[in-house]
Amino acid sequence: MAPTLAVSTVIFALRTDERSSAAIGARPQLWLPLVVRLRDPFDGRWALPGGPLREDEGLADAASRTLLETTGLRPNYLEQLYAFGDADRPGAEHGRVVSVVYWAMIGAEEAHLATTGQNVRWLAADRLPNLAFDHNRIVEYALWRLRTKVEYSRIAHAFLGETFTLRELREVHEVVLGKAVDPANFRRQVEASGAVVPTGQVRTGGRHRPAQLYRYDTAIEPVDLGPLAPEPQMSPTSTEETP
Amino acid sequence: MAPTLAVSTVIFALRTDERSSAAIGARPQLWLPLVVRLRDPFDGRWALPGGPLREDEGLADAASRTLLETTGLRPNYLEQLYAFGDADRPGAEHGRVVSVVYWAMIGAEEAHLATTGQNVRWLAADRLPNLAFDHNRIVEYALWRLRTKVEYSRIAHAFLGETFTLRELREVHEVVLGKAVDPANFRRQVEASGAVVPTGQVRTGGRHRPAQLYRYDTAIEPVDLGPLAPEPQMSPTSTEETP
DNA sequence: GCAAAAGTGTTCAGTCTACACCCATGT
DNA sequence: ACATGGGTGTAGACTGAACACTTTTGC
């Protein structure tokens, strides 16, 4: 019997814990939405949003769709993570499944508006319970990818809104990497990258000097995707023998 | 109708062109084995080795198997590349296929022994004809991944044998990256990485001072795979709510 | 005025790069 | 002897971490 094909998505957003949100200076954390399984295997356990691939639907489309269905949102960033399909995956007794998993980043403003359906719940990424299938391992891998990618690319802004202060962007790095970042050096690095442009506006309100607001420079690709980049640049490198 | 699942592999080896092998100082190049398609779609065109996923067989196992079937070899390095599954992939008219593609590196000694079956042919990676499906794009992406990975990890030795001189290792870098590398600086970087240990043996025969032979230090992982590393470190980060 | 964060300047150490130079071998 | 690549040394450019310091707001 041929294995079933499914698409799942690890959806990350930066949120402040509701319970401690009243506390001043509450650091945001990484959260992700999970859905309850309503049947075996792993009936009643939390699992990543996902489902079978529909006809005439691309893999990334399926990821976007399940994301929209579970959260009502569209992601600022979406990337394929990995295809998991070992024959001994947990739950394979009930029918083998090959999962193509995506991971996504949601902006701050949208994250507030997330519809939390009956079977959906947001949980902190570093305090997850035992999930269905091998989903704990998948989330671990997605977290690892997020962390390494934040360091060498420019995706951090995908957790923020249209405009943001460098302080906010730095906080994203600090929360994701789990360590403090020098404000002075961070500012210079970001400015030197040219990925960000000042809007002229400032954000006031703190008990301190107002901060310049920046916007992401859309002319700059956040990640180097190589030949997978948008423009499909179909490349018959040369024209030679065809047997 | 559910999409079919297939596993294909981009297999790289460093070879000297047979026609110019007589010439002295012939630079090796990247080659890859392709198979002729014997039916529609793309009947008669070259394609990546691959096929459907068998029952009770992991994705990586399937990649290894097709690699063995087409070349008679086992790879020194094997990694998942990407899952291609857009609804508008070339050839989808004859039935939609989601391809999980792997890429592999073959050692120098093995590459000589490669069995070249009736329908198999090795072609130079930078002079490929029009391949079946979107396989040109896939090879481009695999090449890009190989190049970026050679720069920041220690996989280059996978194109060589058990022991090798630093000259040979440097040549791998030069061929893959397509540019000259300073011998002095390369030596220092490799030695500093500690990934390589001198065997005490030397390689004589050139009209020059004999070169020290090195062996790869197997205690060091060639690539940082993060949570996908061998030891499955099943990680229920904590034990919390299960609805 | 004072606390707090925004933003600037400077130093120091480590790394990368280019290139000069000596060493050991085959012919 | 001498050509050739193996191997070492080193000066300058560049980069990143650390941290002192000035600026501008809210209270």
| B171-221 pLDDT per residue, tens | 999 999 999 999 999 999 999 999 999 999 999 988 899 999 999 998 888
CB contact (8 A) between residue A242 and residue B45: yes
Of B58, B130, B239, the CB nearest to A86: B58
**What is the four-CA torsion angle of B133, B134, B135, B140, rounded to 10 degrees?**
170
Model pLDDT for residues A165-215, shown as the tens digit of each residue? 999 999 999 999 999 999 999 999 999 999 999 999 999 988 889 999 999
- Asked if B108 and B16 count as a contact pair (C-beta separation under 8 A), the reply is no
Q: With an 8 Å Cβ cutoff, is B231 touching chain A?
A: no
CB contact (8 A) between residue B87 and residue A56: yes
> For every residue of chain B, which 3-state class applies, written as one string?
CCCEEEEEEEEEEEECCCCCCCCCCCCCEEEEEEEECCCCCCCCCEECCEEECCCCCCHHHHHHHHHHHHHCCCCCEEEEEEEECCCCCCCHHHCCEEEEEEEEEECHHHHHHCCCCCCEEEEECCCCCCCCCCHHHHHHHHHHHHHHHHHHCCCHHHHCCCEEEHHHHHHHHHHHHCCCCCHHHHHHHHHHHCCEEEEEEEECCCCCCCEEEEEECCCCCCCCCHHHCCCCCCCCCCCCCCC
Q: Which nucleotides of C are covered by protein (CB under 7 A)?
A: 3-10, 16-20, 23-27
Is a pLDDT exceeding 60 seen at residue A23? no
Is a pLDDT exceeding 70 seen at residue A237? no
Model pLDDT for residues A61-70, shown as the tens digit of each residue? 999 999 999 9
Is a pLDDT exceeding 90 seen at residue A153? yes
Give A-chain residues touching B83 at CB under 8 angstroms: 59, 80, 83, 100
At A21, is the pLDDT very low, low, confident or very high (cuts 50, 70, 90)? very low
In 3D space, the residue among A136, A125, A98 whose CA is nearest the CA of residue A7 turns out to be: A98
Q: Do domains A1-18+26-151 and A153-223 have the same CATH topology?
A: no
In 3D space, the residue among A132, A79, A88 whose CA is nearest the CA of residue B59 turns out to be: A88
pLDDT at residue A18, as a whole number: 61
At A25, is the pLDDT very low, low, confident or very high (cuts 50, 70, 90)? low
Query: What would the mean pLDDT of A72-76 be, rounded to a whole number?
Result: 95
Architecture of the B1-17+26-152 domain: Alpha-Beta Complex (3.90)
**Cα-only R_g, chain B:** 20
CATH of A1-18+26-151, one of 3.40.30.10, 3.40.50.720, 3.90.79.10, 3.40.50.1100: 3.90.79.10
Spatial distance between the Cα atoms of A47 and A91, rounded to a whole number of angstroms? 12
Contacts of A141 (CB under 8 A, 6+ apart): A81, A82, B226, B227, B228
Collapsed DSSP state (helix, strand, coil) of residue A110: helix
Q: With an 8 Å Cβ cutoff, is A51 touching chain B?
A: no
Please report the sign of the dihedral spanned by the C-alpha atoms of residue A167, residue A171, residue A174, residue A176.
negative
Strands A4-15 and A29-36: antiparallel
Strands B97-106 and B4-15: parallel
pLDDT at residue B196, as a whole number: 95
Write down the domain spans for chain A: 1-18+26-151, 153-223
Model pLDDT for residues A212-224, shown as the tens digit of each residue? 999 999 888 888 8
pLDDT at residue A126, as a whole number: 93
Model pLDDT for residues A36-68, shown as the tens digit of each residue? 999 989 999 999 999 999 988 999 999 999 999
The full length of chain A comes to 243
Is a pLDDT exceeding 90 seen at residue A73? yes
CATH of B153-222, one of 1.10.10.10, 3.20.20.80, 3.20.10.10, 1.25.40.340: 1.10.10.10
Is a pLDDT exceeding 50 seen at residue A22? no
Contacts of B175 (CB under 8 A, 6+ apart): B14, B27, B28, B29, B30
Query: What would the mean pLDDT of A23-46 be, rounded to a whole number?
Result: 87
pLDDT at residue A43, as a whole number: 95
Show the low-confidence residues of chain B (pLDDT under 70): 18-25, 231-243
pLDDT at residue A241, as a whole number: 43
Gap from B211 CA to D9 C1', in Å? 20
At residue A36, φ and ψ (nearest 5 deg) are -80, 135
pLDDT at residue B236, as a whole number: 42
Is a pLDDT exceeding 60 seen at residue A139? yes
Spatial distance between the Cα atoms of A186 and A170, rounded to a whole number of angstroms? 7
Model pLDDT for residues A83-128, shown as the tens digit of each residue? 999 998 998 888 899 999 999 999 988 888 887 778 999 999 999 9
pLDDT at residue B110, as a whole number: 85
Is a pLDDT exceeding 80 seen at residue A238? no
Collapsed DSSP state (helix, strand, coil) of residue A67: helix
Contact, A232 CB vs strand D, < 7 Å: no
Domain A153-223 fold is: Arc Repressor Mutant, subunit A (1.10.10)
- Phi/psi class of residue B48: alpha, beta or left (left: φ > 0; alpha: ψ in -120 to 50)? beta
